Amino acid sequence: MGLTKLVLKRPVTTVLMILCLVVFGLQAFMSSPLELMPEMNMSMIVVMTPYPGASPEDVNDLVTKTVEDQVGTLSGLDTVSSMSRENVSITMLEYKYGTDMDKAYDDLKKQMDLAKVSMPDEVEDPIMLELNANLMANMILAVSKDNTDNLYNYVNDDVVPELEKLSSVAEVSINGGSQEYIRVELLPEKMSQYGVSMNSIATDIGSADLAYPAGNADLGDQQLAVSTDQKFDTLETLQDIPLTVSGKNTIYLGDVANIYLGEDDTTSIARYNGQDTIAVSVTKQQDAASLTLSSDVNDVIEELTAADPDLNVTVVMDTKDNIMSSLTSVFQTMIAAIVISMAIIWLFFGDIKASLIVGSSIPVSILASFVLMNLMGFSLNVITLSALVLGVGMMVDNSTVVLESCFRATTDTGFREFSKAALNGTGVVYQSVVGSTLTTCVVFLPLAMLSGMTGEMFRPLGFTIVFCMVASLISAITVVPLCYMNYKPVEKKTAPLSRPVEKMQQEYRRIMRRFLRHKGLVMLSSVALLALSIVLAMNLRTELMGEDDMGQITVEVETKPGLQLGIVEDILNQVEEVVSADPNVEDYLTQSGGGGLSSSMSSNPTVSAYLKKDRDMETDDVVKLWRKELESIPNCNITVSANSTIGSMMGTSDTYQVILQSTNYDALKADSDRIVSALDARSEVTKVHSDLENAAPVVKVRVNPIKAKAAGLSAAQIGGTLNSMLSGVNPASLEIDGRDVDIKVEYNKDRYKTLAQVQNIVLQTPTGGAVALTDVADLVFEDSPATIRRQDKQYRVTITGTYTDKATETTEKQLQTEVVTPQLSQGVSIAMNSMQKSMQKEFTNLGKAIAMAIFLVFVVMACQFESPKFSIMVMTTVPFCLIGAFGLLWIVDSAISMTSLLGFLMLVGTVVNNGILYVDTVNQYRQSMDMETALIEAGATRLRPILMTTLTTVLSMLPMALALGDSGETTQGLALVNIGGLTASTILALLMLPAYYSVMNRGGKQSLMAD
């Protein structure tokens, strides 16, 4: 109250302080970075270990298992997952939240250095990447150019370096085209004639271009550095590298090989709208803003295209567009919430001045929140701005209660001076608004203590709402009474809702007299409603996060491993025909292979479609249409999914998935095959397959150790020689026109193209002799999966299918009970996928936070009332909200997710506010009334402010509940829970709380709220 008195006595000072707050708030708003989501530390490190020429089984046995054994002792490690693919091992290490990732990275580096010693010599150095939300591409460019010999070289040499210079850029990767290299094509007849081998030629090339320090020598008074220097820096000089010298006869490289510039066989594809292109993916620095990256990259594009008119660069994807679109939608939602709140105030009071008083408190509270958010280092993103939208309705609550009390002080108590009415009206409800603000704020204290994804993502939301509530409390007891004193609003009896509210008050008095005569039945009804809410909750779907509509669709094509690139291109052409024919598509980008983290994690070709903003169909409807049109394409499994910022982490409702795990790979494979066959016979699912089905035959060279030893060879020597003959050797590089070009020693592409040619390979022995490969080894066929997956040293297989129209909500459980479980052999079990584990973990954390919030709210109210009994009375309003929250989720078919559980956390702090106001009023009225009259009159008196606060909160959340605009689905569940919960709680609290009060306070003396 002292603050209110000071404000009313010093209006000029108060206005100037508010002006300063506006300036600081605007400055904070303009200096805050704009992002789509809060920064998240994923506590994960990915280790990619290349093993060129190795099959998935060899990668698993020789690389992956070695890595898993070596990293198993690291501290803070939670889960180790791995994928063994052709040519590469990928190991993902997930650490417990709170682990020092810098130290974890250093420890892992030491362990990988030790692991490398135990691996074959051909294994390349591991690449370690600490995962975070910024590792995926922020921009994708499509580059084409007329009149260029090699587009790949141009982009790699002229475009990529310009982008890498930018301080906002962390990584640039390119996809598509063919890389140029210096081809040393060996001539076997000449090699045999001159007695040279492939390995000796590669060694001579590698040592030919050499600069080596030798020491120092004096020349007079000078000391000179001495070094050996031998350079072969052109294609012509490469031909002059000597291989053997015998007397006057010298054999040069040009005598046994043809040397020329060639292009790699195309292993990656990039097409933009059906035309060949080079796709350039740009990833931002972790501390750089997405908008800064976009501006920097676009500046470079303008400079490059201005300097070269033949260059065409198209921005295919830019996260800035999603950010601006999403944030614009949130801002529009916020403005709508403010307008709705002011309109409700006018409907109740009938005076535009009253609406302006409440409306003026909203921007003051928001600007104060911006200052605090900036000090905390929060960015302006969908989560924090959604918190402001949620806060608008709650900000209005305190101002509405104070304003309504000021009006009552003017009319009921006879104050004619607006200053006295402002002071007295604020004083009457001061304890109530402070208590309600405390209960709203205290529920977010457990959220601030949470770890994991929940804490990372929603801690800024909790803090932002707390900032809003504290600012709104200060605004309500300062700005509102000051404006009331100066504007002198008058409540009009002709207000649009004045007469309806009076009728509701009269009807409320009549109903409550009946309810108080049947208190037992009323309380029993509340228990029945609680039971109904539990039944509704059990029938709701669950997902980790809601899926927002970005207007982007990814078509992933899974083909058999080893399939020729031409066949893959034919499949992609058929996919492109479907995509390009859809009128909803604006652009599409086809990619296969290439560099970057995403390409390493998934080896399947993809077609990324970007839909028009003004399209006729929803993204999900387009996805369903494409699935039907693409399912007939043979020799592949096609997955069509809508892209989202967060993603529906549990997948779509028409996708069936089960994961099996075992330490015995053969048993796992056998069980998987049986389950796939059994599921194929069911009518509820179709297109069932496992990721072990996609196997291709590989040729295993089984070395006979005795025969090899007799020939003077080892298995390692034979393997190394075969690798060189089939894949070539890269002994060095050569600088041409300012760029490094790899030198590759290889045979003619057709020499070892067929299996018969491989069987006829002749190996050179250490003594200079020769032995046929088939004399020291057997060539056998085996099936090898495209990818071998493991988690915590157990093999894993994923079986997927698509639900048909005959599937029901219980189909998944039925299939597991009737089909999957009976087929499992000993040692094989069903495993949760990573998203199911995340959902279980995050739901448990949020459940604990809700329980802690309930306890804290009880403590705050018990301290406020100085009576646990009255605190328990108010807490009875919490179960009332469940019927509305679960009921609305069920009506709109929305799932229980992290955001909806966060809505329940908020409800704990907001639904008790009406109860606090009601119990406080009853305690005041009981000083001059009997209990029944006090119970009835308190409800009738507080009916209007309770209706106003509930309507402003509920209706201001309505745009968010409708998920209007981009990324609206992310926080939709939170708004739905609050709308349903607050609506039900308001109605039931006014009707049922009097019965609980009467029963719990029977025969006792009232315990008044502490002054």
How many whole angstroms separate alpha carbon 544 and alpha carbon 542?
A: 7
Same domain, residue pair 976 and 856: yes
Same domain, residue pair 89 and 5: no
Least-confidence region, from 22-26, 35-39, 189-193, 906-910: 35-39
Residue 963 lies in a domain: yes
Same domain, residue pair 898 and 995: yes
What secondary structure does DSSP assign to 579-596, as a single string? Answer: HHH-TTEEEEEEEES-SS
pLDDT at 440: 82
Same domain, residue pair 525 and 471: no
pLDDT at 527: 86
From the CB of residue 397, how many other CB atoms can be counted at a distance below 10 Å? 29
Same domain, residue pair 397 and 434: yes
From the CB of residue 242, how many other CB atoms can be counted at a distance below 10 Å? 12
CA-nearest of 209, 131, 140 to 175 is: 140
How many whole angstroms separate alpha carbon 914 and alpha carbon 916?
A: 5
Same domain, residue pair 410 and 470: yes
Same domain, residue pair 525 and 389: no
What secondary structure does DSSP assign to 474-532, as a single string? Answer: HHHHHHHHHHHHHH-----TT-TTHHHHHHHHHHHHHHHHHHHH-HHHHHHHHHHHHHH
Residue 326 lies in a domain: no
Q: Give 27 or 783, the one with higher predicted confidence.
A: 27
Same domain, residue pair 78 and 5: no
Same domain, residue pair 20 and 79: no
Residue 210 lies in a domain: no
User: Which sign does the torsion angle of CA 7, 13, 14, 17 carry?
Assistant: negative
Task: Name, in order, each residue with C-beta under 8 angstroms of 722's C-beta and a sequence gap of 6 or more.
Answer: 701, 761, 773
Total structural domains in the chain?
3
pLDDT at 70: 92
How does residue 1 score in pLDDT terms, banded at 50, 70 and 90?
A: low
Using the 3D structure, point to which of 117, 132, 147 is the last residue of a domain: 132
Residue 755 lies in a domain: no
When pLDDT is averaged across residues 547-573 and rounded to a whole number, the result is 79
How many whole angstroms separate alpha carbon 894 and alpha carbon 593?
A: 38
Q: What CATH number does residue 457 fall under? A: 1.20.1640.10
Residue 785 lies in a domain: no
Which DSSP state fits 897? -
When pLDDT is averaged across residues 443-468 and rounded to a whole number, the result is 82
pTM: 0.76
pLDDT at 282: 92
pLDDT at 212: 67
Residue 176 lies in a domain: no
Tokens of 42: 């994923």
Least-confidence region, from 41-55, 211-225, 460-474, 649-663: 649-663
Using the 3D structure, point to which of 80, 115, 132 is the last residue of a domain: 132
Local structure of 1007: helix, strand or coil: coil
**Which amino acid would we find at residue 962?**
L
Q: Are 762 and 726 in contact (CB under 8 A)?
A: no
Tokens of 443: 């529920």
Q: Are 558 and 627 in contact (CB under 8 A)?
A: no
pLDDT at 211: 64
Structural domain range at position 46: 41-132
**Which amino acid would we find at residue 818?**
E
Percent of the chain whose predicted confidence (pLDDT) is above 70: 93
Q: What CATH number does residue 94 fall under? A: 3.30.70.1430
pLDDT at 985: 87
How does residue 604 score in pLDDT terms, banded at 50, 70 and 90?
A: confident
Same domain, residue pair 378 and 518: no
Q: Are 823 and 702 in contact (CB under 8 A)?
A: no
Specify which of 60-69, 241-250, 454-463, 951-960 reaches the highest per-range mean pLDDT: 60-69
Same domain, residue pair 24 and 119: no
Residue 810 lies in a domain: no
Task: Name, in order, each residue with C-beta under 8 angstroms of 878's C-beta and a sequence gap of 6 or more.
Answer: 854, 907, 908, 911, 912, 985
Looking at every residue in the chain, the average pLDDT score rounds to 84
Same domain, residue pair 17 and 63: no
Residue 481 lies in a domain: yes
- Answer yes or no: is pLDDT of 301 > 90: yes
Using the 3D structure, point to which of 132, 155, 181 is the last residue of a domain: 132
Per-residue model confidence as pLDDT tens digits over 342-391: 888 888 888 888 888 888 888 888 899 999 999 998 888 888 888 888 77
When pLDDT is averaged across residues 309-322 and rounded to a whole number, the result is 89
